[in-house]
Structure 1
């Protein structure tokens, strides 16, 4: 009937408008969006993806997905994509994109499958990405800077340790033994690698303040006098004063200052810290 034909025409027009709206929404979205069919052929390739890849929509329509990926990682990426066709969806997965000019961009992707009305037959897969190349590069530069800082710090630690070793070989050997013992205890306590590294540095330098003590006192084989012992006791504070000006990710200077304090509140600094593990000076 005429009424039925009119209703069909209205529904068709509404569907066309909805389709055009969705197509424009995808086409001009700020994020790269791509859609592919079950055969991994590209069916939608929006403007943002053109900017990301350097390829045009006209060039990519109907093309296989694999042209978008670097040869080195192509096989692994296609396996991930194959899993999406079996129901897996991406919330955040990092996948590199090979640009037309050979440059590689890194992007984070999420995806979803679109099914026929039966809810089982796969119609297509849609994925949306975020270009994180600059962020990855910044993180890489930050990592290099941190590694350089670590090497600088390690060089400083070694130089200071060498000063002590030249002046007093006994103290140098003692520092190495304390370091090995402290790190072994830290590992048994399941402390993090960062904390163990802090302990290693502090152990290596804990007696650095002894460079302030006259050599004749350090090498005196007989029992030290009270005056000499009072001079020796200053080495924790001197070590702290030396190390406090050196930038470090750990409180090395404070550890050196407190390394003669004991859990019962006694120690060289007269019990100012009542919950500090003492270094076992007998080793």
Structure 2
């Protein structure tokens, strides 16, 4: 499919989906689609055809990774890269990415929603493809914006956790001048994230998709975010519910401990209930409180 036709179809699909779910973007926001790569993505391979959107608004069959920028009417000079979760099998756009983007743009932040490649969709570079897209996205945003932070949910938290702690890792051969720019963030918020793939935390879809059920201890360690925290890691904001049945609640404790060991500024909010996938807050639980803490944290870093 021609790139322009693909992007038009993609935008129409997402806008239609959001309208059906009552989550159309605020009238004050402007949307722009930005392809991550000129030509084919690194390594080649991958699916063909149009992206698939499930009944609940989850994206898969991502043949052309891209950023969707939502710009507020009065930008405050701070951009946020958003990656939704889905266990690296799908991307929960309707339940996580779009609500977060709308919340941010309503407060003056420019939101960039990442549609990243999924490692199980036949890409030649396998488990590197999502990280390649996240690093490229950070470089693209850095070229456009002065202040850049990241916001990741679940597996998206794992992805952006890896990106912000491994900004010097070359996940793909440089393609152009943009790839000489740093792929770093000023700060990072990880919401009910998968942090570690090491034993005994090997039950997740993130683990299965990235390293497989019989991975070595070395492979598990190589994809565990906490192992790459250094004194140069940007400030971290963590949120999780203690009854999370998907991402073990120890994940945020592990990341918090790694940050404190390296003297990295970290804020952590843990709630008795809320489960997994509460996005910007689950009604009837204290998880509704976290966006207010997040807004204060973002403002403090401006």
* TM-score class normalised by the smaller sequence: under 0.3
TM-score (norm 1): 0.24
Q: Which has the higher contact order (CA 8 A, sep 6+)?
A: 2
Q: Larger C-alpha radius of gyration, 1 or 2?
A: 1
Between structures 1 and 2, the one with greater strand share:
2
Between structures 1 and 2, the one with greater helix share:
1
